[in-house]
Amino acid sequence: MDFKYKIADVAKEFGVPAKKVIETVSPITGEAYKTGGTFGEKELDFLLETLTRENAEESLDAYLASGTKQEEPKPAPKAEAKKPEGKKQEPKRENRKPEKQAEKRNEKRVTLQELAADTGIKKPVAATEQVKVNRAQVSVDTRTVDVNVDKFNARYDDLADSRNMPNKRKNQPTGKKEKFNNRNNRRGQQFGRRRETEAERLQRIQLEKARNAQLKISIPDEITVGELASRLKQTAAKVVAKFMQMGEMHAVSDVVDFDTAALIAEEFHAKVEHEVHVSIEERLFVQEEDNAADLVERPPVVVVMGHVDHGKTSILDAIRKTNVTAGEAGGITQAIGAYQVKSGDSVITFLDTPGHEAFTAMRARGANMTDIAVLVVAADDGIMPQTIESINHAKAANVKLIVAINKMDKPTANPERVKEQLTQYEIVPEDWGGDVACIPVSAVTGMGISDLLERIVLEAEVMELKANPNRRGKGAVVEARLDKGQGPIATLLVQNGTLHKGDCLIAGTAVGRVRTMRDDKGREITEAGPSTPVEITGLTEVPEAGELFEAVEDEKLARELADKRTAEAKERQFAAYTKVTLDNLFDQMAANDMKELPIVVKADVQGSAEAVKQSLEKISNDEVRVRVIHAGVGAISKSDVSLADASNAIIIGFNVRPDAVAKAEAEQTGVEMRMYRVIYDAINDVSDAMKGMLAPKIREVALGEAQVRQVYKISSVGTVAGCRVTSGKITRDAQLRLVRDGIVICEDAIASLKRFKDDAKEVAEGFECGITLEKFSDIKEGDVFECFKLEEYRD
């Protein structure tokens, strides 16, 4: 910024006539000035320079010595020190010793151009005009104090680097004139004050910091000692020492819980906050439990199971028909995989997914939709393998069981036999003193169907099934498909809350807004309460049956969660999902606090299945209870694998093999299947696994075969078999099995293996060798040596 100064003011301040100011400046700049006019900084600088030189002291020593001179008012500028030019030169001069100054005080003629260049004035001036300047003498004449230099120099003060100031003062010669000192003192005080203020300010800030900066740290549920130390801004050693003072020994890598860490942190006077990690799920889904006051009764959700051809579909049809005749509007146009029927004033929701496979497959995905399972048993057929499976699947899911003894219209119907058979599977009918309702029905004649419905309603009342309709809808996907026109269509069962048209929901990795919503009769509806099955469109992709869904407020967050789930699913594909296996049982017991080992047993005959089941259940110990959730006969099927998958069980096969589908399913789901031929081995393995001592499996690796061509008896060595290696190789450290006419005679180790007279490590195919065995000597010509080694392996 270019400052303008009034010439009259400048003259006044410098104590010289305005005319002199003009006369001094004008020759250099070449401009004409008026007394009442103004000029800029450069002119002022030049004026200062000239006046300073004119009033310069001959000798600084003399000047310093002349104490009285200080009183003499001199019309010299004294603000020079603050002018840029003066600033540039003054420190040089001040730093010089007086002698040096004297040496250098040679007068020198400086041309006006030089001076102008010095002062930064570019305007050409007459070369002849010369000003007598003594450069070495450029000094601050501080004797005149009348000049109000601050007026001109305030901006320099502001710009002045306070760091330079102390030096400046330090370099000031002592014994200056009083006024000089005074002014300097004043300035010194001024700067001193500023510095003091700065120091005070820093001190104050530090004090404040110390006071307020009581360290605030957040500690998660668990934290390592090292991490705690770093959050406390302490060394780990100090924190460990603090633990020791409190009577706890911890290493830096040890993990301590929140309470312990908080105690230590408080010892360091830190303020502790509990660090809570909020997952997307926690932010997205309603976390509060429903208030008891908000809960209202909801219809029971029922599924029908049973052996093939015992009449599941027929019963469901009969139920629907009963309902239609009862005047249900909308007719029989049941469009979706779940529907509601009325029994009296009550409503029952049926899942139209007959069979325990679908039921368990859904359960495997986390959906526990069913409250009651109707077990259909044909009165003429009695309990069949799939009936047993159904019983076990229902038990594993902990659902209420009602038995429908079907085909009662048939003359061969024998309900009593069915009841009797049921007791073998711990299902005791009511009329035999148990708690399981057995309702005789006929899907063909419709007999007993209403009794069955009434019974379902009764059981539901006892179960006090309740839900809160005044919350965002959540539930499970019953089934889903892709429609060419409408995109993904999903049948959902609302389990709690109310789902509205337009709601945003997430089901597994599928997100979207409910575009259309239809009930089980195909009617458009706008909202669906608890236990209501609906068919919706609007999802981005087809969710899997059994997937849980929930309506959410934040669609963006829901999409984020869907992405996260997709990524997790991919990760799971790569990292094998750790299912319980006998190999990892012990670790899983420790890590997951396992209290129960569920097992599915399959055997060749019922007798062995029962025997295996009982023997296994007996080996329960204090930590883990072995529970056989299903013991069946026949090859291991897909249904067994899905049951094991849903219940995190292992499968034990006794004299049976898995079928191809089950094998593939087990591989995919990571369900362990172990096959045994001896019950004792199965029992041993399970009990060893429970103790964490499961021996590794051992298999035989065939190395080669050799045929005995000749037998020599040598007194000092024993029996030597002269052999020819017919396949593979014979190695010195391997085991040998002696086979004679297809019968294994013995297994032994090789005592010596020689090629001619030399010891050999191994002999390859086509070569001859001499073999002696460690124990067995009755070797005969024509015997075959099978060479093998045993190898440990894990599945």
Ligand X SMILES: Nc1nc2c(ncn2[C@@H]2O[C@H](COP(=O)(O)OP(=O)(O)OP(=O)(O)O)[C@@H](O)[C@H]2O)c(=O)[nH]1
Structure tokens at 73: 């008012």
Smallest gap from Cβ 619 to ligand X, in A, equals: 36
Smallest gap from Cβ 372 to ligand X, in A, equals: 18
Residue 139's Cβ-side half-sphere holds a number of Cα atoms within 13 Å equal to 24
Name the residue nearer to ligand X (CB basis): 308 or 463: 308
Smallest gap from Cβ 390 to ligand X, in A, equals: 11
Select the residue interacting with ligand X from 308, 567, 695, 702 (CB under 6 A). Answer: 308
Name the residue nearer to ligand X (CB basis): 310 or 613: 310
Contacting range for ligand X; rule: CB under 6 A; set: 217-225, 306-314, 431-439, 491-499 = 306-314
Smallest gap from Cβ 308 to ligand X, in A, equals: 4
Name the residue nearer to ligand X (CB basis): 338 or 539: 338
409 annotated as a binding-site residue: yes
Q: Which long-range contacts (CB under 8 A, 24 or more apart) does 610-619 make?
A: 611/679, 612/652, 612/654, 612/679, 612/682, 615/679, 615/682, 615/683, 616/652, 616/682, 616/683, 616/686, 619/683, 619/686, 619/687, 619/690
Total of chain residues touching ligand X, rule CB under 6 A: 16
Comparing C-alpha atoms, which of 81, 86, 75, 78 is closest to residue 20? 75
Smallest gap from Cβ 385 to ligand X, in A, equals: 13
Contacting range for ligand X; rule: CB under 6 A; set: 304-312, 431-439, 569-577, 755-763 = 304-312
Select the residue interacting with ligand X from 93, 298, 310, 393 (CB under 6 A). Answer: 310
Comparing C-alpha atoms, which of 628, 624, 627, 633 is closest to residue 656? 633
86 annotated as a binding-site residue: no
Select the residue interacting with ligand X from 314, 346, 421, 684 (CB under 6 A). Answer: 314
Can you tell me the distance from the alpha carbon of 484 to that of 795, in angstroms, rounded to the nearest whole number? 44
Name the residue nearer to ligand X (CB basis): 48 or 449: 449
Q: Is 246 in the site for ligand X (CB under 6 A)?
A: no
Q: Is 31 in the site for ligand X (CB under 6 A)?
A: no
Site string for ligand X, 424-443 (x = CB under 6 A): ------------------xx
- Do 439 and 411 contact (CB within 8 A), yes or no? no
Q: Is 450 in the site for ligand X (CB under 6 A)?
A: no
570 annotated as a binding-site residue: no
| CA-to-CA separations, 120 to 4, 40, 108, 123, 131, in angstroms, rounded | 16, 12, 20, 9, 16
CA 187 centroid distance within chain: 63
Q: Is 717 in the site for ligand X (CB under 6 A)?
A: no
Q: Is 313 in the site for ligand X (CB under 6 A)?
A: yes
Name the residue nearer to ligand X (CB basis): 267 or 416: 416
Q: Is 111 in the site for ligand X (CB under 6 A)?
A: no
Smallest gap from Cβ 352 to ligand X, in A, equals: 11
354 annotated as a binding-site residue: yes
Structure tokens at 7: 């010439």
312 annotated as a binding-site residue: yes
Can you tell me the distance from the alpha carbon of 507 to that of 546, in angstroms, rounded to the nearest whole number? 10
327 annotated as a binding-site residue: no
User: Which helix (H) or strand (E) covers residue 222, if one does?
Assistant: strand 222-224
Smallest gap from Cβ 386 to ligand X, in A, equals: 8
Name the residue nearer to ligand X (CB basis): 70 or 442: 442
Can you tell me the distance from the alpha carbon of 137 to that of 97, in angstroms, rounded to the nearest whole number? 13
Site string for ligand X, 320-359 (x = CB under 6 A): ----------------------------------x-----
352 annotated as a binding-site residue: yes
**How many residues does the structure list for the chain?**
795
Can you tell me the distance from the alpha carbon of 458 to that of 443, in angstroms, rounded to the nearest whole number? 21
Can you tell me the distance from the alpha carbon of 633 to that of 385, in angstroms, rounded to the nearest whole number? 7
State the burial class of residue 255 (Cβ atoms within 10 Å of its Cβ: 0-12, 13-18, 19+): middle
Smallest gap from Cβ 689 to ligand X, in A, equals: 37
Number of neighbouring beta carbons within 10 Å of residue 623? 14
- Do 654 and 604 contact (CB within 8 A), yes or no? yes
- Residue spans of alpha helices (H) in 213-251: 225-231, 236-245
Structure tokens at 587: 């670790």
Name the residue nearer to ligand X (CB basis): 183 or 410: 410
330 annotated as a binding-site residue: no
Smallest gap from Cβ 445 to ligand X, in A, equals: 7
Name the residue nearer to ligand X (CB basis): 237 or 332: 332
Select the residue interacting with ligand X from 299, 306, 488, 529 (CB under 6 A). Answer: 306
Q: Is 311 in the site for ligand X (CB under 6 A)?
A: yes
408 annotated as a binding-site residue: yes
Site string for ligand X, 382-421 (x = CB under 6 A): ------------------------xx-xx-----------
Contacting range for ligand X; rule: CB under 6 A; set: 16-24, 84-92, 301-309, 612-620 = 301-309
Comparing C-alpha atoms, which of 60, 49, 75 is closest to residue 135? 49
Select the residue interacting with ligand X from 54, 114, 297, 309 (CB under 6 A). Answer: 309
Comparing C-alpha atoms, which of 632, 696, 639, 628 is closest to residue 662? 639
Name the residue nearer to ligand X (CB basis): 386 or 491: 386
CA dihedral of residues 89, 92, 97, 103 (deg, nearest 10) = -60
Buried b (16+ CB within 10 A) or exposed e, 357-368: bbbbbbbbbebe
Annotated binding site for GTP: 306-313, 352-356, 406-409
Binding stretches for ligand X (CB under 6 A): 306, 308-314, 354, 406-407, 409-410, 442-444
Annotated binding site: 306-313, 352-356, 406-409
